[in-house]
């Protein structure tokens, strides 16, 4: 017989015995699918928020940051960090190219606002002190010089780690803080270079 099943009182039961009705049983697959769909939507929303407001995946194009970053390497850029902290010497930053803001460059910060920067035969001096640069292997260094200059307010002097292959502040001058929009924080591809960018 169709219809919902009920539990009937036995003939010997009290006239006040309760008769309960079972709740209709929903299709077995529907609740599982709806929970899965809800979790998927939430995950996508969180991922979109992180990518749009916090982290952006980018592909490195070119060799100017070798050996720290290779050509075609994939990294995450933190776009929010500089709202919480200031840019530091040694940070690897992504910025709009001053001569063509439609392009983005990635370089290492060498000089902060007010610093006196000069380069003598490849050796960088910051405020008359030689800068130790263990991220620039001898094979990637050059003998290029640059006259002393003072980094302007809200500006940063940036260089590529591969000095012989880099178009940087030696060519286009300091980068205004307004052009810097993120810090390279984590490499995720290729797998053998996965880890924190430094």
| 43 — pLDDT class (breaks 50, 70, 90) | confident
Quick check: 62 pLDDT over 90?
A: yes
User: Is residue 125 within 8 Å of 146, Cβ to Cβ?
Assistant: no
103 is catalytic: no
User: Is residue 125 within 8 Å of 132, Cβ to Cβ?
Assistant: no
**pLDDT per position as a tens digit, 120-176:** 999 999 999 999 999 999 999 999 999 999 999 999 999 999 999 999 999 999 999
Domain range list for the chain: 57-196
* CATH numeric code, 57-196: 2.10.109.10
| 28 — pLDDT class (breaks 50, 70, 90) | low
Give me the chain's average pLDDT, please: 86
- CA–CA separation, 108 and 68 (whole Å): 10
64 is catalytic: yes
CA pseudo-torsion sign 71, 75, 80, 86: negative
Q: What is the pLDDT of residue 26?
A: 52
Q: What is the pLDDT of residue 46?
A: 76
Which of the residues 47, 103, 104, 107 is marked catalytic?
Answer: 107
Which of the residues 4, 43, 64, 169 is marked catalytic?
Answer: 64
Quick check: 11 pLDDT over 50?
A: no
CB atoms within 10 A of CB 194: 11
Q: Cβ-count burial of 153 within 10 angstroms (0-12 exposed, 13-18 middle, 19+ buried)?
A: exposed
Q: Is 2 helix (H, G, I), strand (E, B) or coil?
A: coil
Q: What is the pLDDT of residue 1?
A: 42
Q: Of the ranges 24-33, 43-52, 160-169, 184-193, which one carries the lowest mean pLDDT score?
A: 24-33
């Amino acid at each position: 017989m169709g219809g919902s099943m009920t539990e009937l009182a036995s003939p010997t039961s009290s006239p006040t015995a309760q008769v309960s009705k079972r709740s209709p049983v929903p299709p077995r697959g529907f609740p599982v699918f709806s929970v899965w769909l809800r979790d998927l939507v939430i995950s996508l929303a969180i991922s979109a928020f992180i990518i749009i407001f916090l982290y952006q995946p980018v592909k490195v194009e070119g060799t100017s940051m070798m050996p720290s970053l290779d050509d075609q390497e994939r990294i995450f850029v933190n776009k929010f960090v500089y709202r919480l902290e200031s840019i530091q010497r040694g940070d690897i930053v992504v910025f709009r190219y001053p001569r063509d803001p439609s392009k983005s460059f990635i370089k290492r910060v060498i000089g902060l606002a007010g610093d006196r920067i000069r380069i003598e035969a490849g050796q960088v001096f910051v405020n008359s002190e030689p800068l130790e640069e263990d991220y620039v292997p001898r094979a990637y260094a050059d003998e290029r010089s640059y006259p002393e200059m003072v980094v302007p307010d809200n500006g940063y002097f940036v260089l590529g780690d591969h000095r012989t292959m880099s178009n940087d502040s030696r060519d286009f001058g300091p980068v205004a803080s307004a052009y810097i929009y993120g810090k390279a924080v984590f490499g995720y591809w290729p797998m053998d270079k996965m880890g924190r960018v430094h």
